[in-house]
Structure 1
């Protein structure tokens, strides 16, 4: 039994204090952001509409998810385990979900106020530097909040539950991941439905600018940037933080005992210091690109994070594996210095973040060859734009996956081939990567704040031409930072999922050890084996990959349906109110916001039920081995699919920016129309389906970790019950596929309504002739 000594308890208390300090720093940065000027009355009116729409959406979303969270909390009590652990796991499930929701709301609330201030700063002397500073410090508030709440939650569990903390943290991570997935999917559907609808009707059909106030979807588009990119991404990175800590503590307890429980917390605590440093040193110098300043701040912070972690390793960890207390893994035969090994693992995680940042920037940046190639294909039409973007995405996925795989191989090598130690070091590499999470969140929030600032400026018309160009430049930088942070989030998700994969194996072995030697039939023995050669395990691999494809398809299809409804509504307003085009009639912005809210919340259930119940169906139906294959298939397919979707969308988006900057014919040219089509195809790729895969694979891994003991108990030993096992699997499969069928029925209904709407449009057009 692992018990925390007085030194370790003192360290955890210090970490809890550091978490509180990070939250205080977030409040101070928030005050700095809100102290900036708010611009003209027209700007404030537009910003207020965005604020109201974003708050209304998140409030309705949280009310919808609250009931779901309570039901899941109750279900967690049914899992086997000590009563104290079960209560703690269920309570901290709600805490994790609440923290995730809080992070999302904080990100949205401040971003909808910072966008106004960035727009106002652009027309003043030094507008480029000041606008970038406000946007980045807005992200700094969210980043420090992520670090503070993540550390506070994990440290609290460790102080309250001691050696049982990993089991309780499973609930904390599950709550954070589940809510983040819902926020990612719901916010992604909202933002991309509005964006696609606004672009297709406004730019392509009416030939008006992106953020023209005559377009009824513009307010919804700006709202979507905040509920999707700010709230969704902030919650996503918070759950990555929480889930990586969960895996690190489970595997650390097995490998290093007491020190393994505490050291991952120390590493992530260094991230609080790194985040504060990164926010303070990121400043635009003169007329330099905002991206240059952001990259400089990131890389300096990353190096400092490695150095601090190295100091912590050499101060806290012993110099020999034999000196660790309470670990269950066999580390005999390893003669390396664990302090050096731990430092190298952290360094691998940080280096991985830096390389992913560069690779993603290369494939999506406005000055890079791949994006310039996509922009050049706009000269030959929309089809070639779509094809070139898909090609860029597919190619980039291979390189990114290869880099992540190389990092995992590097960890395996420094572990001397010891699997238990390797898995812990993978989790430690994830913690190392997350030392930069505060800066990563700041980079991501920079994007939607700059995008909204440009929209407010264009809709109000109160910004000078120089200020408008500054905001255009900041928006282009924001597109790249959003793409880059998606790439880093994907890498984080893969490391966390790989570590959780190890946690799943640990949970299975622990339960089997409790049951002891039992006689089982050959079929059950095959179900318990994780041998990849086994056909039934291979079936699990195939089903895991298929689930990622199905989830992605459902998310993209949901955006398609919602965007179609927006297109019809915006067309209707233009058709029925000709005065909109002459500025005599104000568009009905609220109707579009309502449609986006309704459709996005309606589509939340299907992907959530699929993620939660697919592992249950496979685990209870096919066994422990096939469930391991299922997780492996989901991780492998998930990383490729997520990178492909994110980078294709990023390349299309910035290719459109290149054309709008005057290349290949500029705005309102055939090349521009083709670029807009590519961008609208990429919108649900990069901002809905792609990012949602990150929490998806972690939710499925956490579900597997939670149910693994129950599967073992019901499959082998005195409590084995084949009828109950098959019944649970059948119910889970019916729920998952029932949700998918319901989604398809909704799609058919929308198609019928769309056909009717189109017929009305044709009749009215004929009457007008």
Structure 2
């Protein structure tokens, strides 16, 4: 059946029902939030330290959002100028961009604002003589549940409203929604990652190695900045990252489903995640600590149970919603209608693929980064022979783990193609549907990720205050170790989601190019062989397409290098500042003087906001330079190269960094001499190398490849229009490419010429010296 101008009453009813589910998810988030905030906040000293972290984190995000507002205005202007089916759709897509960006920012801010209040509550719960472990874990995981349910709720709300309001035009509008979510998430990931790792590296190198004091010793001037960074990087950044993965996957599925099977394909990608919203709430409620069971096992059991429930619910939805044959479908130029098989079973198999992929990646990542697994223990064992062997073993582990994770993701993509019976349009839709299946667990995944920084901060507050010891300190140590593993696991799942979403967007990109060529090529003379090769020949053997593949892979490496170098420069400033404070104020070490925590927070804030521009400009302008300069076929190769290199690089960076971090934890727990030993110093070096790997460059690759895919999808029609047809203009086309290239080169040159700057103002990020704020004045 042809895709109708307006949705049928049944499809509209389902979309409205999904919107209702999204609102219920937001209600669940509100309930979880009240439960978290109802817990006790501990001693006055614990509250003082938590107040300092809250002040720094909120001030940083406010400054970041003010900076990013200018980017949002510029993008809206560009979206209005791009070709669409009319000014009404251009305006709707631009508004959707702002909504997507606003939702991404809101989720990031919510994740941060609640985490900085939950951390002290977890620390306070650990002080309870009985039940501290259970209560601390419940608070930490419910905090993540708030962010997870908000992610699900806002993602579904935006997509369902677009479908109800715009019907068959919803895919065009949702391009803006996904682009806004992805672009802002990338900036938050890069900026927050630079902040948190600059502070972490500086605190570790000077505090642990040079001064020989514990990680969260209040005498270290970088400790407050380190805890602030956990929240603006891991909580705000990761929450925004997973939200944009959620939004972009739904967007890609809606676009491809509409093209492949019509109206049913437009609505089914909303129905599957809606089921996931219900199971996510169950998963959050069911996770709790139990005597004799490790915290990690309890969380994994909750994840597996929610995945099983989501799978059953998805099966019911597929068999209740879809017809039993393909005969009624006319999408994909009628090729789907000729297929044999049961579309209900095929759709369910695709959803199952996505859920299975999440489970397999959880296993692989846990194997390579868990404290009980051999790979991480081998990295810890390498500490006996010094930091060089620790670094080498971690790099080898990361490279090896990237291969197996990539094979699993590639296997899921290939099986989706097999399920589609060789019909490319249906295969791309099934890949996107697999992504929706994976995202049925996203509420629990976000909860698992937020659990990490909350438990980490709780241990930091406990150590800085000195008010938690004995069994309570052991509880927080366990929760922190569990959090390290859950953060690594969720990074792996986020990478898989990014690849599935980018692959699906790649399919919608090809559809957009083909449609535009058909529209503008009517009644014109045959273009030159070169123009045809750069427009419609997507074969990898074509030299221009191969050039695009190489450029796409190169951008991933350049992006990663820029992010790591940015952390290196900012961390250098922190190291020098912390050393200066210890040298100029010897009373800090004996407790007669207080360190200037605000100075370090300000250094990290300034550098993070300054450094995030270059990677962001690279992601936005590289597809424009390649597309307008070389053509849409080389741009297709560019996207393929970015996806291939991106998944390998992201997994390598995330798992190597996670293994180094947990290897350090193993030594700190007593292996090979424990804290203060040479083995400990070696693992600290490995951890500082891994910090920008796992928390800055690696996670930022996820939104990078989706931003580039969405930019390519948006500009492809303009490239075709300027290449052939009555409105062709080669000079304008190459001029746009030249401007984009100049922007990239200038941004990279400016970034490379930056040096460690010690002339920053001494005030904190809010314009007030944090030493004189009430919350920090009472630091012990």
> Normalising by the residue count of structure 2, what TM-score does the alignment of the two structures yield?
0.95
Deviations 1:677-700 (A, max 9, x none): 000000000000000000000000
Q: What residue number does 2:67 align with?
A: 64
Inter-partner Cα distance in structure 2 for 1:305 and 1:468: 37
2:363 paired with 1:355: no
Inter-partner Cα distance in structure 2 for 1:530 and 1:430: 24
CA contact (8 A) 1:530 1:629 kept: yes
CA contact (8 A) 1:329 1:420 kept: no
Which of 581, 595, 610 is the equivalent residue of 2:603? 595
- Runs of 4+ deviating beyond 4 Å: 751-754
CA contact (8 A) 2:326 2:338 kept: no
Inter-partner Cα distance in structure 2 for 1:631 and 1:475: 38
2:729 paired with 1:750: no
Inter-partner Cα distance in structure 1 for 2:602 and 2:576: 14
2:81 paired with 1:73: no
Q: What residue number does 1:9 align with?
A: 12
Which of 253, 259, 264 is the equivalent residue of 2:258? 253
Inter-partner Cα distance in structure 1 for 2:261 and 2:745: 42
Deviations 1:327-385 (A, max 9, x none): 64521431010000000000000000000001000000001000000000000000000
Taking structure 1 as reference, are residues 239 and 306 closer, same or farther at Cα in structure 2, changes over 3 Å only? same
2:114 paired with 1:88: no
CA contact (8 A) 2:181 2:243 kept: yes
Give the deviation of 1:325 after TM superposition: 5.6
Give the deviation of 1:752 after TM superposition: 10
Inter-partner Cα distance in structure 2 for 1:112 and 1:68: 28
Deviations 1:386-433 (A, max 9, x none): 000000000000000001001111111111111111100000000000
CA contact (8 A) 2:623 2:708 kept: yes
Inter-partner Cα distance in structure 2 for 1:397 and 1:247: 25
CA contact (8 A) 2:330 2:337 kept: no
CA contact (8 A) 1:258 1:325 kept: no
Which of 652, 658, 663 is the equivalent residue of 2:666? 658
Inter-partner Cα distance in structure 2 for 1:722 and 1:75: 20
Inter-partner Cα distance in structure 1 for 2:141 and 2:756: 41
Name the stretch that deviates more: 489-498 or 304-313: 304-313
2:518 paired with 1:513: yes
Taking structure 1 as reference, are residues 588 and 411 closer, same or farther at Cα in structure 2, changes over 3 Å only? same
2:532 paired with 1:563: no
Deviations 1:302-327 (A, max 9, x none): 01111111111111111111213666
Q: What SS does the aligned partner of 1:77 have?
A: helix
Which of 217, 223, 226 is the equivalent residue of 2:222? 217
2:395 paired with 1:390: yes
Q: What residue number does 1:319 align with?
A: 324
2:448 paired with 1:450: no
Q: How does 1:729-748 map to 2 (within 5 A)?
A: 729-746=737-754
Q: What residue number does 2:588 align with?
A: 580
Q: What residue number does 1:647 align with?
A: 655
2:112 paired with 1:108: yes
Which of 330, 333, 351 is the equivalent residue of 2:335? 330
Q: How does 1:515-554 map to 2 (within 5 A)?
A: 515-517=520-522, 518=524, 519-528=526-535, 529-554=537-562
Inter-partner Cα distance in structure 2 for 1:615 and 1:447: 35
Which of 274, 281, 284 is the equivalent residue of 2:279? 274
* Residue ranges of structure 1 left out of the alignment (5+ in a row): 755-769
Which of 124, 133, 137 is the equivalent residue of 2:138? 133
Deviations 1:639-664 (A, max 9, x none): 00000000000000000000000000
CA contact (8 A) 2:328 2:337 kept: no
2:621 paired with 1:621: no
Name the stretch that deviates more: 406-415 or 428-437: 406-415
Which of 99, 106, 118 is the equivalent residue of 2:122? 118
Give the deviation of 1:509 after TM superposition: 1.2
Q: What SS does the aligned partner of 1:416 have?
A: coil
Give the deviation of 1:718 after TM superposition: 1.2
CA contact (8 A) 1:645 1:686 kept: yes
Q: How does 1:477-492 map to 2 (within 5 A)?
A: 477-492=482-497
Taking structure 1 as reference, are residues 120 and 753 closer, same or farther at Cα in structure 2, changes over 3 Å only? closer
Deviations 1:440-462 (A, max 9, x none): 00000000000000000000000
Inter-partner Cα distance in structure 1 for 2:230 and 2:334: 46
Q: What SS does the aligned partner of 2:735 have?
A: helix
Which of 460, 467, 470 is the equivalent residue of 2:472? 467
Q: What residue number does 1:198 align with?
A: 203
Q: What residue number does 2:296 align with?
A: 291
RMSD: 1.1
Q: What residue number does 2:766 align with?
A: none
Give the deviation of 1:522 after TM superposition: 1.0
Give the deviation of 1:510 after TM superposition: 1.4
* Residue ranges of structure 2 left out of the alignment (5+ in a row): 761-780
Which of 715, 722, 725 is the equivalent residue of 2:733? 725
Number of residues of Structure 1 aligned to a counterpart in Structure 2: 752
CA contact (8 A) 2:521 2:724 kept: no
2:407 paired with 1:402: yes
Give the deviation of 1:242 after TM superposition: 0.6
CA contact (8 A) 2:332 2:426 kept: no
Q: What SS does the aligned partner of 1:321 have?
A: coil
Which of 431, 437, 446 is the equivalent residue of 1:426? 431
Give the deviation of 1:625 after TM superposition: 0.7
Deviations 1:199-218 (A, max 9, x none): 00000000000000000000
CA contact (8 A) 1:253 1:327 kept: no
CA contact (8 A) 2:431 2:504 kept: yes
CA contact (8 A) 2:289 2:298 kept: yes
Deviations 1:152-175 (A, max 9, x none): 000111111111000010000000
Q: What SS does the aligned partner of 2:753 have?
A: helix
CA contact (8 A) 2:358 2:438 kept: yes
Inter-partner Cα distance in structure 2 for 1:513 and 1:364: 50
Give the deviation of 1:514 after TM superposition: 1.8
Inter-partner Cα distance in structure 1 for 2:469 and 2:215: 18
Q: What residue number does 2:312 align with?
A: 307
Inter-partner Cα distance in structure 2 for 1:118 and 1:18: 30
Give the deviation of 1:741 after TM superposition: 0.8
Which of 493, 513, 527 is the equivalent residue of 2:498? 493
Q: What residue number does 2:686 align with?
A: 678
Inter-partner Cα distance in structure 2 for 1:453 and 1:10: 45
Inter-partner Cα distance in structure 1 for 2:696 and 2:668: 24
Give the deviation of 1:178 after TM superposition: 0.2
> Normalising by the residue count of structure 1, what TM-score does the alignment of the two structures yield?
0.97
Inter-partner Cα distance in structure 2 for 1:737 and 1:422: 38
Which of 402, 410, 419 is the equivalent residue of 1:414? 419
2:153 paired with 1:145: no
CA contact (8 A) 1:258 1:324 kept: no
Q: What residue number does 2:646 align with?
A: 638
